[in-house]
Amino acid sequence: MPRPVGKLTGVGLILVAALLLNLDLIGFRTFAADPVLKGNDIVYSRSEYKIDLLPKVKLELAVRDALLNPVVETLTAAVRTGKIGDGKIFVATVDEAIRIRNGHRGESAL
């Protein structure tokens, strides 16, 4: 079962309050190849359709290197249930960040 948006909003508030971060919360749908995670049948205009796209929520954060471990630990502790759907965390390097409004670059753009 995908994580409810309300739970992620709470996580975002914890991260922002504790670490002074900006974050993006993105809703999307994904295909589930696992039969356990398949979507539901719906009836539309007297016809039944199988929906295999599941609603999900994605957080995107850009953090300073020094805050990486605290952010990962806070996020993991806040959302872990031990059940399918807890999600994944991907860590990637950002080569450059540029704040368009004022031209700040690097960590000052975060």
User: For the chain, what are the domain ranges?
Assistant: 5-109
d(CA 57, CA 48): 26
- pLDDT tens for each residue of 25-74: 788 877 766 555 555 666 767 777 666 677 778 888 888 888 889 888 88
Class of domain 5-109: alpha beta
* Backbone torsions φ then ψ of 37, nearest 5 degrees: -95, 5
Determine the number of helices (DSSP H) and then strands (DSSP E) in the chain: 2, 4
pLDDT at 2 over 50: no
- Count Cβ atoms within 10 A of the Cβ of residue 63 and give its class: 0-12 exposed, 13-18 middle, 19 or more buried: buried
91 — pLDDT class (breaks 50, 70, 90): very high
- What is the rounded CA–CA span in Å between residue 24 and residue 79? 17
Q: What is the pLDDT of residue 38?
A: 57
pTM of the model as a whole:
0.64
